Structure 1
Amino acid sequence: MDIQRPRGTADLLPEALGLWSAFERVALREFERANYREIRTPLFEHTELFVRGVGDTTDIVEKEMYSFQDRGGRSLTLRPEGTAGVVRAYVENKRYGRADIDKLYYLGPMFRYERPQSGRSRQFHQYGCEVFGAEAPELDAEVIALSYRILSEFGLTGLTVEVNSVGCDVCRPQHKAAMLRLVQPHAEEFCGDCQRRMERNPLRMFDCKHETCQRLLTELQVPRISDVLCADCREHLEAVLHHTALLGIPCERNPNLVRGLDYYTRTAWEVTVAGHSTVSGGGRYNSLVAELGGPETPGIGFAGGVERAVQLAIDQSLTAGEDERLDVYVVTADQTATDQATSLVDTLRRAGFMADRDFQRRSVKSQVKSADRQHARWMAVLGETELASGTVTVKDMDSGEQEIWPFLEVAERMQERRTKQEGEGK
């Protein structure tokens, strides 16, 4: 029987990972520049964590989780998103006792049972961050800027940030009461999901994908949360928009924006590209730490999909650049040069070069073709003449220039050439 990969998963082969690696480098660089530190949580957690943390009215909990019982009869779930696990780790490890705010980032696989389609897989990869300990609007702006700049620095264009406030414990109850007065008499006209949300979190009805439900909300003139924000929430949103403008982030107000997770309070946003689904998004969650057993601690974060960012890069004809080029390919023109080839490759690698050689006892012609296929910057040839004189013939594969260097000086001279080329912008 042929065994194939499970539906909704993908093999990430070396030839396709150039853009992935380039994106991950950008994300890690931007997080670390902003003084965020990496956190890694388990791939599976107790199911209750996601029911309580993500929200039992969300599509994730109602329809998409991979849950199972272990041999001890405990219900476990493969993580469908990153925030709940990071908050659990923050509480369990008592990181809330720190004097400074806690700025954390993560990158790794998540799992949701969805119908596989472009940009959606059952195993997918998210990058994101969480910050605990401050509710200043300037922090909201910093996290929004991070979510935008990672994508922008990766090279994506046409990005827009849509921002809204989803209220707080003061204005949300008022909005809920106003919504219910209007929608409950028409409950049977809404889809089953909205009927359940109506009782537990009616705000999420604005996140429904059914056109009929959205038409009913409009016809019934159901107020948006942005229409009934309290003074503090309005002031907070204005300050967030002020600071994102100072940072040069192109933000637009979207009063219809309601993120699909129950834990958000106040600021919520999405980074979008015209003609595509959301690329990344996030929000503030000032009650989630307390909900999961910690003290009252404000929090904010965002997450994005690596697959979506990479697919956008492909659609926009971006490439990984020359970072994936092999620096040096060592050719053995004489089999007696095997020892010297081993030594030279190791020396070059220790000096910071990406270097490789032939291991198949192939002809010189075949080795040269291999150097070409791997886009080597230089080719270093070791043959009978070179062995006798203690030298290496080095060819610049871009210019075609060829020189003879002392064996012991190859790494040093190559470093000088690389430094010079980088200075000239080549």
Structure 2
Amino acid sequence: MTNRGQIAVSEAAQEIEKLMGLHPKGYDLSLDRIRRLLEALGNPERNLPPVIHIAGTNGKGSTSAFCRALLEAGGYSVHVHTSPHLVNWHERYRLGVPDGRGQLVDDAVFAEALRRVAKANDGEKITVFEILTAVTFILFSEHPADAAIIEVGLGGRFDATNIIEDPAVSVIMPISLDHQPHLGDRVELIAAEKAGIMKRGHSVVIGHQEYDAALDVLMSTAERLNCPSAVFGQDFIAHEEYGRLIYQDEFGLADLPLPRLPGRHQYANAAAAIRAVKAAGFTVTEPMMEKAMETVEWPGRLQKLTEGRLLSHAPARSEIWVDGGHNPGAGEVIAEAMANFEERQSRPLFLVSGMINTKDPVGYFKAFTDLAEKIYCVPIRGSEAMIDPVILAHAAYDAGLVAEPMASVIDALDAIASTVDPEAPPPRILIGGSLYLVGDVLAENGTPPK
């Protein structure tokens, strides 16, 4: 975890920097430490509003955003916990507001919660992520709301968020290979870890699964735990028809606007969110669904940059998109979205990519083999785990692409501007490969999430 553009005067950021100096970075998958810490805090995780708990390799954040948009469209107040953040630590905690849009946590409130958790931990061995998870439970238990959406950090079974014993619904989104050293090198092993958030007798929603092996594990786990389950493609479905999103489940059919979030993969994410909110016990009306499709937002995931400092470095009239997808499964859905854009309006596609060394760059880049004209490989500022741009360019070559290492995103945009034909259609530029890179870009562009 790095600061990545954090506001220097942020009191909470200063508290987190202190904690990072005392405790190990990253993850240590176990529930013993978080359980001990929460007991010292009076078990705030037992005093939450109905929880929608979301796991999966891809689509967790988008599904969280759809759930939030849907509930807020119905006038519900909604807490949301996501990770990682893009620019500011505060993005991880959105506190619900009655009849309104949830707001990122106030800095002073956040800092005080951090101090309370650190004091309760009393110097015991723990990771910063576990401390931040405990902060989630403090904030969400002490600020009233109608619902809480909590995204798993890594895996599921031993993730610190899995201390939740009584979720309103557990949601498992698409599973593919990622974090193999922690979760296993086969999709069925990863699925077993994700399935660990299911609780006996509690509702489960299973989103679209590309791999039958993963789906089999999830369905058998739900059956073994006697969980009422709804499975995408069997119990609920969504597809595009005449420029509209058709959603259907056992309760009926809804004819909705296409989601504001681009990409066909968002249809299945929206469907999972609708079914999850219903499974959590909330009344969902068609006007709520319509409003949610039109208002949903999720920064850093196929986000189009329409303003900011970076636009002046790209060719005139370029489209610039940023996306934090970083594994082969994400690469496939992002490439499909780019191909769909190409069908509607033909433009040359350039990639500006940075990745960290726990990912599979060749697997990610292969999705763009027949789409991208060239990849410019860039460093990720402040990341010790970044892949050197020269090495990343070799990975792009191995995937069958033309690539060139660059010193920065601005240098890459300048290079694109200097090479494209001004008489040709202006290019489409995708900046991505890492949420950390996207966070850097949004900070440098002056357009952080709000």
TM-score by length of 1: 0.24
Larger-Rg structure: 1
Greater share of strand: 1
